Amino acid sequence: MNSYFFTQPFFKKNGRAIAIYFLVAIIFWFVFLVIIPQLYMLDLSFRTNVPPLERGGPKDFYTFEHYQHFVFGSKTAQDAFNFVDLGVFGRTILVSIFVTLANLAFCYPIAFYIAKIANPSTARLLIVSLIIPFWINELLRSFALRILFANEGVINNVLTGIGIIDQGILFITYDIGLYTGLIYAYILLMMFPLYNAIESLDVNQIEAAKDLGSSTFRTHWRVVIPHAKPGIVSGCTMVFMLTVGALATPVVLSSPNTLWFPQLIYQWFNMNDNWSRGSAYSIILLIISVIFVLTMMRIFKVRIGEIIR
Amino acid sequence: MTSSHVMKFMMGLYLFIFFTYLFGPLIIMSFTAFNSAEFPAITPWECFTFRWFNEGKIAYDGQHLAGLFTDWRLHDGLISSLIIGGGVVLLAVPIGMAAAIVLTQVKSQLRDIYYSISIMPVLFPGVIIGISTVVLWDRLAGLGGEGFISEIGRNGIFLTILAQTCFISTYCFLIFVARLQRFDQTQEEAALDLGASQTQVFFKILIPYLAPAIASAAVIAFLASFENYNTTVFSILSDQTLTTVIASKVRLGISPALSALALSIIALTIIAAVTYEILRRREEKKYALSQEKYVTEKAAISRIDKDYKVGFKIPKGIVAIILLVILCSYGGTQILKNDLYGQSCIDAADKEKKSKFLDQLQVLEQNELSDEELGGGNLGGNLDYGDIFGDPNLFQDFAF
């Protein structure tokens, strides 16, 4: 076994006690914490929803019912498709893509500034001040935005106080608060990969491009962005994954009549007590995430090791 | 020349807007913690108060809003969050370390696969990790009858530790991988040549070398566990952690006590960041001094003797601090002068609200209809029907 997996004989290299510790820790992690739970959830998503006592009984059989429910709706429904759930799903994905692109657009100038223009002490200060807001709980950050955007909130009160608008704008109802909150929530995870990637670019390359008469835009398009590609891919992947799977921010900021996809999962799971359907919807979310990562890797030709460091 | 000025100005403006976006909400939230109004707001400013940090308030209509120090649900949540954080550190750090060390020993063909599996949990949405852990352990608990397994399989704190360890181990793994990349393998070989056993090498060389990584992995693991919501909300079952308590509070209705909590966390964060920064600078200075000393000693003759500037240098930060102190004292005196602080102000505000409330009650009572009026006769809806039912000819045709 040793020679198949390891460069040197494993037990001899590490000593018996340490080798056993390594193996136990890794197998515990991979098998018991990562693989088995996911496989069991996959299995559950294909089963009927039965109370615990009837598990293994005649009512507990394999079925596609939950996936069918996601696409076609319940059997008694009038519509041909389950427009409610599909709508939530589509909206979640489209908004997540929008949030990712917005994050990229917002972060790129700052990352470039900190990495290449600012002097070291300013850069250091900026980085520390970037980190500080992200040590604060995501829920509390969303709560801060909620104070701003509530119907009787700070923004509405100030705007009506000045007299720009007569009536408060319904930021929460129209989900403006939610989109702002989602952009706010994971902006750091875009900033740092971008910063690291741009930081490793040699300044001489930028100057050479300038000396050869390239415009600022062209320099960025042809020199900086191609160099920063792994960082861009990494940041986009992380932000997209976290946004699609976000639960805390939507709980605080989404309007009462729209749902975010993980909220839908939460409802099936905790309020309707239908664990199988919750699992099926989770599997759908997982598949979308995997497809997104693979697409990003394929389009931009980066390895998975470059996405997460 | 002007175009570069414009660029600089635009960049400055953009930086300003960006950081306003980052900090503005937090700063405003911090202010709302000191407003005595029940709804966290700035503009109808009632009184300056510390009550959201202390006892909270019992409102005039009997509604009780707990303050930070009297809210037992927050305290319970905090305790279980600390327990979970400790458990996750104890599990995730050794797992991450083992996985990272083994990564250096895996054959190069397998390294990509091994690495991919190790970082996979970070790519799973948090809700999925929570759900999968719960469904698996619920099944195990069901199979286990009444024994130990069924006990822990339904224990929210235990499940949360497992679920969080699943992805926090990856964070630790990445920290250890980064540190191990700079490890000098010859140290190990030297120790082995000098007769150390493998176990001794591990404890005397590898562990001391990894010590900084262990420390930072522990801190990151604890923080990640402490502020996690997406996974925890599923795996905690009937228990509560700090984050789930906060979430349920936010959903039920927002109270300034949450602003007070957030402000406390912000203060802790800033203190930690400043301490870290000061320690780092001191360390750097020490290192630079030792390097300089080394160079001057090497040079023997004082060819590159620097003449140090002697004198007191005013640090730039002092201006900001002085400004802040002036602003605070000015604000404080203004608040005291206008009687915006203290019990009298709060009493006045409450009284006003109470009287408004009473007025409304009175209006309601005035508008309320007496039983007699509701009973029919001369008022409202019954008249229309009264006509119909009162008409003796209406059902004539139906009478046979």
What is the rounded average pLDDT of the residues A76-90? 79
The answer to whether the CB atoms of B243 and A137 lie below 8 A apart is: yes
Smallest CA–CA distance, residue B197 to chain A, in Å, is: 8
Using pLDDT thresholds of 50, 70 and 90, give the confidence band for residue B389. Answer: very low
Could you say which of B199, B227, B247 has the minimum Cβ distance to residue A15? B199
Quick one: tokens of B169?
């181990």
Residue B378 pLDDT greater than 70, yes or no: no
A126, A148, A279: residue with CB nearest B25: A148
Reported pTM: 0.79
Q: What is the pLDDT of residue A271?
A: 79
- Categorize the per-residue pLDDT at B398 as very low, low, confident or very high, splitting at 50, 70 and 90: very low
> Would you call A303 and B101 a contact, using CB atoms and an 8 Å cutoff?
no
Instruction: Supply the pLDDT for residue A234.
Output: 87
Strand B64-66 relative to strand B56-58, pairing: antiparallel
pLDDT given at position A143: 85
In this predicted model, what pLDDT tens digit does every residue of B19-77 receive, in sequence order? 888 888 888 888 887 777 767 766 666 677 777 776 666 655 555 666 667 677 888 88
Q: What is B72-254's CATH number?
A: 1.10.3720.10
- Among A18-22, A269-273, B359-363, where is mean pLDDT lowest? B359-363
The mean pLDDT value of chain A amounts to 82
pLDDT at position B87, please? 93
Mean pLDDT of chain B: 76
**Token pair for residue A240?**
């997209």
Q: What is the mean pLDDT of residues A270-289?
A: 85
Rounded to whole angstroms, how far apart are CA atoms B199 and B183? 18
Confidence at B292, pLDDT banded by 50, 70, 90: confident
User: What pLDDT, on the 0 to 100 scale, is given for residue B387?
Assistant: 45
Q: In the prediction, which pLDDT does A94 show?
A: 92
- From chain B, the residues in CB contact with A21 under 8 A are 94, 98
Tell me the per-residue pLDDT of B169-228, one tens digit each, with 9 for 90 and over.
999 998 898 888 888 888 888 888 888 888 888 888 888 888 888 888 898 888 888 888
What is the rounded average pLDDT of the residues A66-74? 76
pLDDT recorded at residue B72: 77
Least confident of A138-142, A223-227, A277-281, B323-327: B323-327
Which residues, including other chains, have CB under 8 Å from residue A199's CB and lie 6 or more apart? A115, A116
| Domains of chain A, CATH where assigned | 83-307 (1.10.3720.10)
Residues B229-248, mean pLDDT to the nearest whole number:
86
pLDDT at A66 over 60: yes
Quickly tell me which residue has 């002490």 as its tokens: A121
ipTM beyond 0.90?
no
The per-residue pLDDT for A99 is: 93
Is the pLDDT higher at A246 or at A274? A246
Q: Are A180 and A145 in contact (CB under 8 A)?
A: yes
pLDDT tens digit sequence for A86-138 = 888 888 999 999 999 999 999 998 888 888 888 888 888 888 888 878 778 88
| Interface contact flag, B28 A12, Cβ < 8 Å | no
Render pLDDT for A138-189 as a digit per residue (tens, 0 to 9).
888 888 888 888 777 778 777 877 777 777 777 777 788 889 899 988 888 8
Chain A residue closest in CA terms to B7 = A216
Most confident of the following: B308-312, B336-340, B388-392: B336-340
How confident is the model at residue B63, as a pLDDT? 56
B199 and A275: CB-CB below 8 Å? no
B30, B39, B135, B143: best to mutate for the A interface, most A CBs within 10 A? B135
Q: Do B262 and A252 touch (CB under 8 A)?
A: no
* Sign of the dihedral through C-alpha A240, A246, A251, A256: positive
The residue ranking higher by pLDDT, A52 or A85, is A85
Where does CATH 1.10.3720.10 sit in chain B? 72-254
A78/chain B closest Cα distance in angstroms:
31
Q: What is the mean pLDDT of residues B328-343?
A: 67
Measured distance CA(A47)–CA(A33) in Å, rounded: 22
Nearest-Cα residue of chain A relative to residue B10: A109
Report d(CA B269, CA B275) in Å as an integer: 10
Q: Is the pLDDT of residue B353 over 70?
A: no
pLDDT above 80 for B400: no
